[in-house]
Amino acid sequence: MTVVELDPSGPSWSASSDVPRPITVRRGFGDRVFRGLAVAAGATTFVVMGLIGLFLAVESWEALQVAGAGFFTDSAWLPTDDPPVFGIAALLYWTVVIAVIALVLAVPVAIGTALFINEYSPRWLRGSLTGLVDLLAAVPSLVYGMWGFYFLQPRLIGLSSWMADHLAFVPVFEVRTDKFASSAFVAGVVVSLMVVPIVTSVVREVFSQAPQGEKEAALALGGSRWGMIRTVVVPFGRGGIVGGSMLGLGRALGETIAVALIISPVFEISPRILEQGANSIAAHIALRFGEASGVALSALVAAGLALFVVTLVVNSLSTIIVARSRSGQGIEL
Amino acid sequence: MAVSESAIPVRDEVVPEQPSREPATLVASNVSAWFGDRKVLESVGLEMPARTVTALIGPSGCGKSTFIRILNRMHELVPGASLAGSVTLNGIDIYGDELPPTETRLRIGMVFQKPNPFPAMTIAENVLAGLKLSGIKVRDRDALVEECLTKAGLWNEVKDRLKASGGSLSGGQQQRLVIARALAVRPQVLLMDEPCSALDPTSTRRIEETISELQEEVTIVIVTHNMQQAARVSQQCAFFLAAENEPGRIVEAGPTEQIFEAPRDSRTADYVHGRFG
Spell out which residues of chain B touch residue A216, defining contact as CB-CB under 8 Å.
74, 77, 112, 116
Yes or no, beta carbons of A219 and B74 under 8 Å apart:
yes
Yes or no, beta carbons of B116 and A211 under 8 Å apart:
yes
Three-class DSSP category at B117:
coil
pLDDT at B255: 94
Q: How would you class B274 by CB atoms within 10 Å of its CB: exposed for 0-12, middle for 13-18, buried for 19 or more?
A: exposed
B109 touches chain A (CB under 8 A): yes
- Beta-ladder partners of B237: B55, B254
B185 touches chain A (CB under 8 A): yes
Contact A265, A287 (CB under 8 A): yes
pLDDT at B15: 43
Q: Which of A70-74, B82-86, B103-107 has the lowest average pLDDT?
A: A70-74
Spell out which residues of chain B touch residue A219, defining contact as CB-CB under 8 Å.
74, 77, 105
Find, among A193, A194, A195, A173, the residue nearest to A184 by Cα. A173
Those residues with Cβ within 8 angstroms of residue A43's Cβ, 6 or more apart along the chain or in another chain: none
CA distances from A316 to A142, A331, B79, B261 (A): 26, 15, 38, 67
pLDDT at A259: 92
Per-domain boundaries in chain A: 92-292
Each residue of B154-170: pLDDT tens digit? Answer: 999 999 999 998 888 98
Yes or no, beta carbons of A222 and B116 under 8 Å apart:
no
Indicate whether B214 pLDDT > 60: yes
pLDDT at A83: 84
B24 touches chain A (CB under 8 A): no
Alpha helices in chain B (DSSP H): 64-70, 101-107, 123-134, 141-151, 155-158, 171-184, 201-214, 227-233, 256-261, 266-272
Confidence class of residue B243 from pLDDT cuts 50, 70 and 90?
Answer: confident
Euclidean distance between CA atoms B170 and B161, whole angstroms: 14
Torsion region of B58: left, alpha or beta (phi above 0 gives left; psi -120 to 50 gives alpha) = left
* Helix (DSSP H) and strand (DSSP E) numbers for chain B: 10, 10
pLDDT at B124: 94
Confidence class of residue B1 from pLDDT cuts 50, 70 and 90?
Answer: very low
Find, among A180, A156, A148, A176, the residue nearest to A274 by Cα. A180
B134 touches chain A (CB under 8 A): yes
B112 touches chain A (CB under 8 A): yes
Read off the pLDDT of each residue in B66-90 and give the average, rounded to a whole number. 93
For residue B108, the distance in angstroms to the closest alpha carbon of chain A comes to 8
Nearest-CB residue to B134 (from A222, A235, A236): A222
Indicate whether B14 pLDDT > 60: no
Residues in chain A with pLDDT values less than 70: 1-17, 326-333
Contact B152, B182 (CB under 8 A): no
Find, among B195, B262, B246, B186, the residue nearest to B43 by Cα. B246
Yes or no, beta carbons of A221 and B130 under 8 Å apart:
yes
CA closest to A227 among chain B residues? B133
CA distances from B131 to A121, A227, A230, B145 (A): 28, 11, 14, 11
Euclidean distance between CA atoms B158 and B204, whole angstroms: 18
Spell out which residues of chain A touch residue B118, defining contact as CB-CB under 8 Å.
214, 217-218, 231-232, 235
CA closest to B111 among chain A residues? A217
CA A155-A161-A165 angle, to 5 degrees, is 155
Packing angle, helices A281-288 and A89-115, rounded to 10: 120
Yes or no, beta carbons of B109 and A232 under 8 Å apart:
no
Overall pTM > 0.90: no
Exposure b/e, B41-55, CB count within 10 A at least 16 = b: bbebebebebebbbb
Exposure b/e, A94-125, CB count within 10 A at least 16 = b: bbbbbbbbbbebbbeebbebbbebbbeeeeee
CA closest to A230 among chain B residues? B133
At the top level of CATH, which class does the domain A92-292 belong to? mainly alpha
In chain B, % of residues over pLDDT 70:
92
- Beta-ladder partners of B35: B38, B81
Each residue of A219-249: pLDDT tens digit? Answer: 999 999 999 999 999 999 988 898 889 989 9
Nearest-CB residue to B79 (from A123, A217, A232): A123
B206 touches chain A (CB under 8 A): no
Indicate whether B8 pLDDT > 50: no
Euclidean distance between CA atoms A1 and A4, whole angstroms: 10
Rg, C-alpha atoms of chain B:
21
Residue B237's Cβ-side half-sphere holds a number of Cα atoms within 13 Å equal to 29
For residue B45, the distance in angstroms to the closest alpha carbon of chain A comes to 23
Tallying the residues shown for chain B, one arrives at 277
Confidence class of residue B4 from pLDDT cuts 50, 70 and 90?
Answer: very low
For residue A72, the distance in angstroms to the closest alpha carbon of chain B comes to 43
CA distances from B91 to B85, B95, B254 (A): 14, 12, 21
Strands (E), B72-125: 81-89, 92-93, 108-111
ipTM: 0.87
Greater pLDDT, B88 or B206? B88
DSSP state of B119: T
pLDDT at B6: 42
Indicate whether B5 pLDDT > 50: no
Spell out which residues of chain B touch residue A235, defining contact as CB-CB under 8 Å.
118, 120
Nearest-CB residue to A221 (from B114, B120, B181): B181
Spell out which residues of chain B touch residue A326, defining contact as CB-CB under 8 Å.
119
Confidence class of residue B89 from pLDDT cuts 50, 70 and 90?
Answer: very high
Each residue of B142-152: pLDDT tens digit? Answer: 999 999 999 88
Contact A141, A257 (CB under 8 A): yes
Domains of chain B, start order: 26-272 (3.40.50.300)
CA A79-A80-A85 angle, to 5 degrees, is 35
Torsion region of A44: left, alpha or beta (phi above 0 gives left; psi -120 to 50 gives alpha) = alpha
CA closest to A220 among chain B residues? B105
B114 touches chain A (CB under 8 A): yes
